[in-house]
Structure 1
Amino acid sequence: MYSVGLPEDCAKQWEILLLLLSSEEKKIDRTTEDEIDTMNYFYNNEGVRKILLHWLKQMQNAYCRKTSELDTALKCDDISLLWRQKGNDKFRTNYVEESYKCYTNSVMYAEHNSLMYSLALANRSAALLRMKRFQECLSDVALAIEHGYPIEQRHKLLLRRADCHIELQQRTEARVSLDSAIQHAISLNLSASNALEFERHIKILERKLESVKEDGSTNETVVLPDWYRGVNPNFNAASNAIELRRSDSAGRHVVLTEGAQRGDVLFSEEPYAWVALPSEESVCEMCCAGDINPVPCNLCSRSVYCGERCRARAAQSFHRWECVAAQCALFPTIGIAHLALRVLLISAHNGFPEPPRLLPKPSSAAELFRSYAQVDNIQIYKQDSPSFYRMFNLVTNFDKMNRTDYVQYALTATMLTLYLENYTSFFEYLPSKVPLSADTDEMRLFGAALLLRALGQLVCNGHATLSLATVDDDDGRTVSEREVRRATAIFPSAAMMNHSCDPNIINTFYKSRLIVRCARELSAGAEVLNCYGPHRAREPTAQRRAQLRAQYMFACACSACSDADRRDFALVFSAYSCAGCKGPVWRRGGRARCGQCKAELHTERVLAQLDRADELAAQVEQMSSLEEKCEKLQASYRLKQQVWHRHHASLRAAADRLARLYAELGEFGKSMELIKQNIQSLEYQFGSFSVEVAHELRKLSDVMLERILNTPQHLEHREWCLEANKIIKKAVQLMELNYGSWEPLVARLKEQQEFVAALLAKSSTPDAANCIHHNLHYNLKI
């Protein structure tokens, strides 16, 4: 059975393997068992164990080795040298960012504490200095010296360190670094030519240092928002303005005890456990910081951290048990099961709490496991209650899911148990962390059962953590943003919020921390509602309900699903336009008829017009001039306007493309009008304070600034500045609400705001301050 029909790549065998094994169990009803019973059966099934162990061995043989001349899961100085040489070639030709990526690979593959490691760090610090990433350059310089960078070259690193401190306006540190470089150079007895070169660099830096009059700040601390009405002692990580309640109809749910305003913080919670998702962006696997200067694991090239402190903490708490699995490419293969493993490892690191005092002392894994469920599932949310109780008592939905899914979770938990048993010493370590005197078999059974339970919990309680990535567009006038899923995490307190397809909260993230804010004004007694994924503005009711039933196993009866007038709301954004009344038209059955005037849509004519519009849009890239490109794209857009409803999502995309071309051509007014139309449409779909509107306002502000900079003598220049100031102010407000003040894009918008304010100050009038500082409304002037 194992070899029939399986792909050669063993990572791709996993899903097929689960289906094959679970099909053998389909006649056995396991829904009446608990996790202990299930895992006792699967672990002791000799055939299952043999197959899973064989697969694990295949994964190790396939991935835990040197896979090419430029990649290996382990450390290899030869590969590190190849990447460093590639970096040198890029650096010499002034491709600095490409050289940085090559040097980072060199750092990743170098043997820890080797000469190659220090050389890679030193070279990367040179690229970082060119990229003006001064703090990270300083970190690499320090690491290179710490890990044995050659003494005869060390004065160059000390000069680089001095240069960073000067750029950071840190006069004292710069002076110390310069003096250290001078003293070190003296001790080397440099040759005449090298001494002259060194003196030349010293003079350059001394002149730069003269312009630094006093020490600049060395701390860039992020101030996180406080809980509204303070922290709640009876509800861990929650605001004092909410409480956890329980009812037969809603289960455990969150209710406001007093009114709250938009932006008020209701939860600020660190996850019980989290794991980074596969991504091109480097994410610290300890603190979830993004856009880091990676420091690798000491043993493998697959795990990265933002610094040595996070690396040491991770090694102590979980990575020592995960390192081999990372080398074997296990985690990208098994998906959310990685987080289930992390839950077990974090629980063990923290130490499993004693069971409730009123119960007899457990003597087996089964008794201990069941005792953890015999608690008041409201009282465990008090701050002084062990966090493990909150994690353990999240719902699993095992009683509702189909048999095949349950068996596949059990097989996955069995595989992870076999991994820990055969590739780590975890089960030798576990007894010291569990309040149970039992043999190794009982400890292994306890760990396996917890893995299975966590898998069920994470499927219906897991939370994706999001961050904002920005990319400069080719035209240089605008930047694009995209939300990046950095990690999957479990937040036991925030998980108590029930679902609504029209949520009244906003989730923001700082590193691994989840910060939940009010999305609108809420009154006392209102339930706090999250969105588990399907949103009323994006998907129609039937589709949302199907998704929620499949993953979370409940029939959604929220206001957006129950209100007949709102059920078709999302369909508007993919609707055609009625030729008569301009109302939305979509297909119902085989016919397309307007919901307002009942006129029938001639679909053949409409589709032909869209084909013509697409032809015109495709011709844009063939045009040689911007004017011709704009003309073609404008003709295409006008055809689409006649066919698609004014709020159609694809019409917004077409308008956005045309707006970018207009901005590139210098037709800023036309570009702005299109962006403003998109803002109105997005406000209708997502609301005025939505993240979608925030991004569009940011885009509008960029074009407004471009117009201001390109036509400084225009008669309406001051009016343009006033309008830009309002738009940027609103963009800052919405970005802070939806992402947090710590996001780099917010800082960029604030710099724009300061720039426009400075322009206005130069042409101030007696009531200008009132206009600039007190008018929080924005007028799109459509």
Structure 2
Amino acid sequence: MDAKSKTIDCLFAKICKHLKSHDKELNQNFIKLTTNFDRFKFIWHIGFIGKELDLLFNNTNFSPKDATKASAFRQEGNEQFKTKRFFDALVKYNSSLQFSSASQPENNLALAYANRSAVFYHLNEFQLCLNDIESALRAGYPQKSRPKLIERKLNCLLRLEQYSSGIEFIKAEKINLSSDVCQNFEKKFKTASADKKLTPLEQQFYFENYGHIDLTITSPNPKVACASKSIDIDYSMERGFFLRAAKDIQVGELLVNEPPFASVLMAHKIGHNCFECILKLNPLKMNVTYCRQCCLVAYCSEKCAAASWTHTHKYECKYLNFLINQSGLSHMEWLALRVVLKAGKSYLLSLKPLLEEYEQQFESSLRDGSCMAFAEGEDKVYSSHSYLPIFNLVTNSQVRKLNDLFRRSFVAFFLVKLLEKSDFFEADSAEGFKENQWFIGGLILRHLQSISCNAHEVAELHLSNAKKNAMAESSAQGIGAGIFAILSLFNHSCDPHVTRNFRGSRCQVRAVQNVKKGEEIYDNYGVLYAVNELKERRHKLKDQYFFECKCVPCRNDWPLYDKIESQLEMKNNLKTECIDNLAVS
């Protein structure tokens, strides 16, 4: 058995074997439970499982920053810089940052940022140079070397024609500069022909450096954030919540431009894509930075690094190597944890009575359109940043098999143990600790079910032959997963009306067919009539999404693309034979 599957799967098999030999009535007791909170509480009370998980997490290892490696890579970068091999120098300085921290004796973090800023300056990437200078100063760059860094920043401001900023910076840093240097720069700035105010220091990485594509929704929907006025949310008992055309929609129209509520980067892309926004990392065009505690994850900017640490990574960091390389946890299961972390414990506990009542009322029976107010605020806006639409997604608990629910409950307990070891529940009282674990575990269990039916793969385009720019032979490859409030409302058709594209983790939905006002707008769930046989499509949809597709291509058994020509030829031959056999009157 490979390393990726052995930990969770083997431990689950061991637990099931133990329980079968010790508790004959466990299955019957578990199957009677109707809410995810009760299911999680049930498995939490099986002490044997908790002990096994404690032992598992107590034996995991954490690899902290390494001052020796950080210093060595920085020195290698310096050698590359001296010979003007700037790209090689960038790579080395990035490696130094990966292993650096501000607490190291040499303060490798500040020194690596400062040295990398020199590379960006020589590459005429003055905005990136400024960003690195600011990072070096924040990290405690040595006072004795500060003047050369200040002069580099002033030169960048000159080259970017940010004259007002330059004059203000001179005033603030006069104490660190000689009078001659101050006077020289003041003269340069004051004699400049114009005071042009360009873009702020925070850059729009992707759109400025990879080609601008207009992703502006021309007519924003006041009730559905990140969507066009062309769509409305509707409800029926048969379809659930779904999207309908509020007006005639034309091919090519941008209908949705939505960030995920939560997302996760696949393990094999860690270090290649931003761990927060999932953009592909480009060291020549980004201020690539790293987690300040571990050596595993990289970010496209300090902004993404800070957001990641605040919301999710601080609870995953010490166990990340175990999660991605040893635990066997899938990225979709990881995403369930991310949903709870992104929402935040305080916010979730404030909703506890509402969410528990919802589970009790609707999980064991059919829902209706009033089952939950998923729009928030005085204006009742359906927001992609709100947790309630994500909580409200269907779980299909009622039709899942016993083993499926029990395994997901076990995975939820595994993730709650991770949170416990990461001090997520640290501030809770003794009684609150237990109650909060049950509540958070129940939410994770709910999302482990809803994500399997509602999450979307995040993909990026890979060229099969970059030299020839062979777009015709390119393919979309999965790099992560996200849960989206609006995307989750699209129902499936094997002949969809829309297509999805990604910029990092942010998804754009465009029409590929005209849709008349009042018609439902369909996406697809990974199967298309043109490339998948009817039997294959129905099997996958039934197995994962628990429904039998009755779209037009399925009802009429439309042919695959490669069979259309042969069927047309057969029909034409039949038509010719019929004409030849007509009796002449």
Pick the TM interval, shorter chain.
0.7 to 0.9
Q: How does 1:399-548 map to 2 (within 5 A)?
A: 399-421=398-420, 423-429=421-427, 439-468=432-461, 473=466, 483=476, 485-548=478-541
The CA deviation at 1:85 is 2.7
Is 1:342 matched with 2:338? Answer: yes
Q: Which residue of 2 aligns with 1:390?
A: 389
Q: Which residue of 1 aligns with 2:579?
A: none
Q: CA 1:524 to 1:351, structure 2 compared with 1: closer, same or farther past 3 Å?
A: same
The CA deviation at 1:400 is 2.6
Matched AA of 2:305: R
The CA deviation at 1:145 is 2.3
Kept in 1: contact 2:271–2:296 (CA 8 A) = no
Q: CA 1:342 to 1:157, structure 2 compared with 1: closer, same or farther past 3 Å?
A: same
Is 1:137 matched with 2:129? Answer: yes
Q: CA 1:225 to 1:476, structure 2 compared with 1: closer, same or farther past 3 Å?
A: closer
Q: Which residue of 2 aligns with 1:77?
A: 67
Q: Which residue of 1 aligns with 2:249?
A: 260
1:40-91 per-position Cα deviation (integer Å, ceiling 9, x unaligned):
2222222222322323233x23xx13xxxxxxxx112112112223333443
Is 1:116 matched with 2:117? Answer: no
Identify the match of residue 88 of structure 1 among 78, 81, 86.
78
1:616-638 per-position Cα deviation (integer Å, ceiling 9, x unaligned):
xxxxxxxxxxxxxxxxxxxxxxx
Q: Distance in 2 between matches of 1:181 and 1:477?
A: 52
The CA deviation at 1:273 is 1.9
1:160 aligned counterpart, secondary structure: helix
Q: Distance in 2 between matches of 1:463 and 1:518?
A: 18
Matched AA of 1:102: K
Q: Distance in 2 between matches of 1:89 and 1:469?
A: 34
Kept in 2: contact 1:473–1:480 (CA 8 A) = no
1:91-123 per-position Cα deviation (integer Å, ceiling 9, x unaligned):
345443233222112112112354211111122
1:634-674 per-position Cα deviation (integer Å, ceiling 9, x unaligned):
xxxxxxxxxxxxxxxxxxxxxxxxxxxxxxxxxxxxxxxxx
Q: CA 1:296 to 1:20, structure 2 compared with 1: closer, same or farther past 3 Å?
A: same
Moved more, 130-139 or 164-173: 164-173
Q: CA 1:17 to 1:438, structure 2 compared with 1: closer, same or farther past 3 Å?
A: closer
Q: Distance in 1 between matches of 2:122 and 2:533?
A: 50
Matched AA of 2:56: W
Q: Distance in 1 between matches of 2:415 and 2:372?
A: 32
Q: Which residue of 1 aligns with 2:149?
A: 157
1:267 aligned counterpart, secondary structure: strand
The CA deviation at 1:342 is 1.4
Kept in 2: contact 1:97–1:131 (CA 8 A) = no
Kept in 2: contact 1:236–1:383 (CA 8 A) = no
Kept in 2: contact 1:31–1:403 (CA 8 A) = yes
Matched AA of 1:257: A
The CA deviation at 1:524 is 1.0
The CA deviation at 1:254 is 1.6
1:349-397 per-position Cα deviation (integer Å, ceiling 9, x unaligned):
56137669xxxx68xx966853686885576243436933322221112
Q: Which residue of 2 aligns with 1:103?
A: 93
2:249 aligned counterpart, secondary structure: coil
1:259 aligned counterpart, secondary structure: coil
1:37 aligned counterpart, secondary structure: helix
List alignment gaps of at least 5 residues for structure 2.
208-212, 575-585
Kept in 2: contact 1:96–1:127 (CA 8 A) = yes
The CA deviation at 1:449 is 1.1
Q: Distance in 1 between matches of 2:553 and 2:230?
A: 26
Q: CA 1:79 to 1:597, structure 2 compared with 1: closer, same or farther past 3 Å?
A: farther
Kept in 1: contact 2:457–2:480 (CA 8 A) = yes
Kept in 2: contact 1:244–1:378 (CA 8 A) = no
Matched AA of 1:491: F
Kept in 2: contact 1:502–1:535 (CA 8 A) = yes
Q: CA 1:160 to 1:541, structure 2 compared with 1: closer, same or farther past 3 Å?
A: farther
Q: CA 1:475 to 1:217, structure 2 compared with 1: closer, same or farther past 3 Å?
A: same
Q: Distance in 2 between matches of 1:208 and 1:471?
A: 49
Q: Distance in 2 between matches of 1:460 and 1:80?
A: 44
The CA deviation at 1:424 is 2.3
Provide the TM-score with structure 2 as the length reference: 0.77
Q: Which residue of 1 aligns with 2:36?
A: 35
Q: Which residue of 2 aligns with 1:215?
A: 196
Q: Distance in 1 between matches of 2:167 and 2:302?
A: 26
The CA deviation at 1:410 is 1.5
1:206-234 per-position Cα deviation (integer Å, ceiling 9, x unaligned):
9999998663622566797555653242x
1:426 aligned counterpart, secondary structure: coil
Q: CA 1:389 to 1:98, structure 2 compared with 1: closer, same or farther past 3 Å?
A: same
Q: Which residue of 2 aligns with 1:294?
A: 288
1:264-319 per-position Cα deviation (integer Å, ceiling 9, x unaligned):
34334332222233315544444445434233233222344444444344333333
Q: Distance in 2 between matches of 1:178 and 1:354?
A: 49
List alignment gaps of at least 5 residues for structure 1.
1-5, 66-73, 190-197, 432-436, 573-582, 586-592, 599-782
Q: Distance in 1 between matches of 2:409 and 2:442?
A: 9
Q: Distance in 1 between matches of 2:245 and 2:31?
A: 37
Matched AA of 2:425: F
Q: Which residue of 2 aligns with 1:47?
A: 48
Kept in 2: contact 1:413–1:451 (CA 8 A) = yes
The CA deviation at 1:415 is 0.8
Kept in 1: contact 2:460–2:476 (CA 8 A) = yes
Matched AA of 1:319: H
Identify the match of residue 247 of structure 1 among 226, 236, 239.
236
Is 1:317 matched with 2:318? Answer: no
Matched AA of 1:82: A
Matched AA of 2:518: G
1:336 aligned counterpart, secondary structure: helix
1:492-518 per-position Cα deviation (integer Å, ceiling 9, x unaligned):
232111011221113234554433232
Q: Distance in 1 between matches of 2:424 and 2:474?
A: 42
Kept in 2: contact 1:108–1:301 (CA 8 A) = yes
Kept in 2: contact 1:467–1:509 (CA 8 A) = yes
Kept in 2: contact 1:246–1:252 (CA 8 A) = yes
2:387 aligned counterpart, secondary structure: helix
Q: CA 1:532 to 1:509, structure 2 compared with 1: closer, same or farther past 3 Å?
A: same
Kept in 2: contact 1:499–1:531 (CA 8 A) = yes
Kept in 2: contact 1:53–1:415 (CA 8 A) = no
Provide the TM-score with structure 1 as the length reference: 0.60
The CA deviation at 1:177 is 7.1
Q: CA 1:91 to 1:404, structure 2 compared with 1: closer, same or farther past 3 Å?
A: farther
- What is the RMSD computed on CA atoms of the aligned residues? 4.3
2:445 aligned counterpart, secondary structure: helix
Q: Distance in 1 between matches of 2:117 and 2:475?
A: 28
Question: Sequence identity of aligned pairs in percent?
Answer: 23
Q: Distance in 2 between matches of 1:116 and 1:145?
A: 13
Matched AA of 1:119: L
2:398 aligned counterpart, secondary structure: coil
The CA deviation at 1:426 is 1.6
Kept in 2: contact 1:231–1:239 (CA 8 A) = yes
Identify the match of residue 120 of structure 2 among 128, 135, 142.
128
2:344 aligned counterpart, secondary structure: helix
